[in-house]
Amino acid sequence: MRELDPIFLALPMRELAATALQRARELGVDHADFRLERIRAQDISLRDAKLEGARTGEQLGFAVRVVHEGTWGFAAGVDLTTDEAARVAGRAVEVAKASAPVNSERIELAAEPTYGDVTWISAYDVDPFSVPDAEKIALLTDYSERLTASDGVDHVSAALQQVLENKFYADTAGTMTTQQRVRLMADFTAVAVDAAHGGFETMRTVAPPVGRGWEYLTGTGWDWNAELAQLPELLVEKTKAPSVEAGSHDLVIEPSNLFLTIHESIGHATELDRALGYEAAYAGTSFATFDQLGTLRYGSQVMNVTGDRTAEHGLATIGYDDEGVAGQQWDLVSDGVLVGYQLDRRMAHMKGLGRSNGCAFADSPGHIPLQRMANVSLQPAPGGPSTEELIGAVDRGLYVVGDKSWSIDMQRYNFQFTAQRFYKIEKGRLAGQVRDAAYQATTTDFWRSMEAVGGPETYLLAGAFNCGKAQPGQTAAVSHGCPSTLFRGVNILNARTEAGR
């Protein structure tokens, strides 16, 4: 049975919250919320099956956020005493008062039901922090040695990241939530070195990061044995592959690659604060402006995209967000048309969109919640084609597997993406790998060229551990599900030629 961390439960969270919220009420706030967090993180890295580094860290602290006479105030502390809780609440109100003269818009929050005192734990079997470090390192070493022993592999790197996140939230409306999330990411990269010419080639596992525990590394949710056995052969084939022919190609893109294109061209573009120009750090604003809601032809009619805070094992899955909003699923793109955005309570109220869809998140107790990305996913077609059937529908094209590098402009509109591997498709059959390929398009041209989406059996929930936003910067983990998908007439660049080599 999954249980809340007893060390976290022993903290005086309710006493601190009661003190802070009472002090905020005494100071005349319109709204106040209290958040206490304990976040444990561990990174382990190996090079050539030898331990390179292991680091374990912990953040512990609390924050008070207020709306006072229509202005935000925020403060944080690390001393877990009632005196400090009262002081931090007072400091948050002082910040709001100091900010009021430059505040041009009155802050009002969308209504949300109150939930009383509730608990939520994410879906996992084994807390990775309950596993001895020696056991983790031994498994990573074993997996690495399998690769280093293979012909054609000169070097191997391995990386493992694990997070156990506990949050306690309470607000003046009466919601009180205690939550625990576990997430894990592991990858292995094999390297082949061309000593004669000074070049090298890499091949990385495509196993996605997940909202699972240690069981993921031992075979629950992913077949590591099968992928590691294939990796050396795939790398050797890549080193011998011809350079891609630039030009227009049909593409069949596997979820292990397409998730990142979804993240960059849909996930960020449908964050309402970006669409309204309130946020531009890291990822810019958005071409999908609010005046186009309900009319923008984002993609073809087979394009249906949801925002989801409830997907099992999703990296952005929560029970309740950092504004006390319950997790939910909603439509962003329906039949190819933009129909929704990702919202927090302020943005939802500002644009008259009703209830927030639960997209407020802070990555630490010292940061204020931001509007952050949900699990944004392209839906499969019920009874849709298999990956093999999609490939069979292509006369001349490429099959795309695994993410690698990417580039997109500050409006989330012009982009190019590479992959772990590209396979040539000739008359409906795979015809070996090619190198140096990148696909390039504008967001709307790309998604409008989507002819077919695969069935549920082709669907995979992939994602990223390190989505950045805001200044000071915050990091969030997020998943993106999608099926294998067929695109027609996408521009393919030869990256080597483009680089002048």
Domain annotation for the chain: domains and CATH numbers: 6-240 (3.30.2290.10), 247-498 (no CATH)
Contact 463, 315 (CB under 8 A): yes
In sequence order, which ranges of 37-176 are alpha helices (DSSP H)?
A: 82-99, 133-148
Number of Cβ atoms within 10 Å of the Cβ of 233: 13
What's the pLDDT tens digit per position in 342-395?
999 999 999 999 999 999 999 999 999 999 999 999 999 999 999 999 999 999
**Pair type for strands 117-121 and 176-194:** parallel
Residue 84 — pLDDT band, cuts 50, 70, 90?
Answer: very high
Q: What is the DSSP string of 78-104?
A: ---SHHHHHHHHHHHHHHHHHHGGG--
CA separation (Å) from 272 to 317, 386, 448, 487? 19, 34, 22, 27
Contact 377, 365 (CB under 8 A): no
Widest Cα–Cα separation across the chain:
75
Amino acid at 345: R
Q: What is the pLDDT of residue 199?
A: 86
Q: For residues 345 and 285, what is the distance between their CA atoms, to the nearest angstrom?
A: 19
What's the pLDDT tens digit per position in 458-488?
999 999 999 999 988 999 999 999 999 999 9
Helix-, strand-, coil-residue percentages of the chain, each rounded to 5: 25, 40, 35
What's the pLDDT tens digit per position in 228-274?
999 999 999 999 999 999 999 999 999 999 999 999 999 999 999 99
Beta bridge partners of 372: none
Q: How far apart are the first and last CA of the chain?
A: 57
Phi, psi of 131 (to 5 degrees): -95, 130
Residue 493 — pLDDT band, cuts 50, 70, 90?
Answer: very high
